């Protein structure tokens, strides 16, 4: 049974930083492209960042590029999202996701997700 457990969310002031973690189990972690999505209230989930199997290729949504960094530790089966220079508009629920096939090289949209984490709330105060 695949489990993805996110942690690291919370409340910080604008300009601050947070590091999200996603501990994966029940799958061969290094075999999958991974991603972070976020969801604003009343909106559909949107892709934030994805990473390929060995962690050397990454992609970012334009709204976070230069401020967020995705990484993975295959030995620990853990995915990370370092979020710096946070803005109030980054306030959302953040989800860890296992992508199908090599989706990070193509389109990494919610319909390309095999498994979702439960989500962690990130709130940025102004």
Residue with tokens 């853990």: 78
Tokens of 20: 């999200």
Ordered per-residue pLDDT tens for the chain, 126 residues? 999 999 999 999 999 999 999 999 999 999 999 999 999 999 999 999 999 999 999 999 999 999 999 999 999 999 999 999 999 999 999 999 999 988 888 888 999 999 999 999 999 999
Nearest to 108 by CA among 32, 28, 42, 8: 32
Beta strands 68-73; 113-116: pairing state:
unpaired
Nearest to 55 by CA among 81, 23, 16: 81
């Amino acid at each position: 049974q695949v489990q993805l457990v996110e942690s690291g969310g919370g409340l910080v002031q604008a300009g601050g930083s947070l590091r999200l973690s996603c501990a994966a189990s029940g799958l061969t972690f290094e075999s999958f492209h991974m991603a972070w999505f976020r969801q604003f209230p009343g909106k559909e989930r949107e892709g934030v960042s994805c990473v390929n199997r060995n962690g050397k290729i990454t992609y970012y949504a334009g709204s976070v590029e230069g401020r967020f960094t995705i990484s993975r530790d295959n030995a620990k089966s853990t995915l990370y999202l370092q979020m710096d220079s946070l803005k109030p508009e980054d306030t959302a629920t953040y989800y860890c996701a296992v992508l199908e096939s090599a989706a990070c090289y193509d389109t990494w949209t919610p319909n390309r997700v095999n498994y979702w984490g439960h989500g962690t709330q990130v709130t940025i105060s102004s």
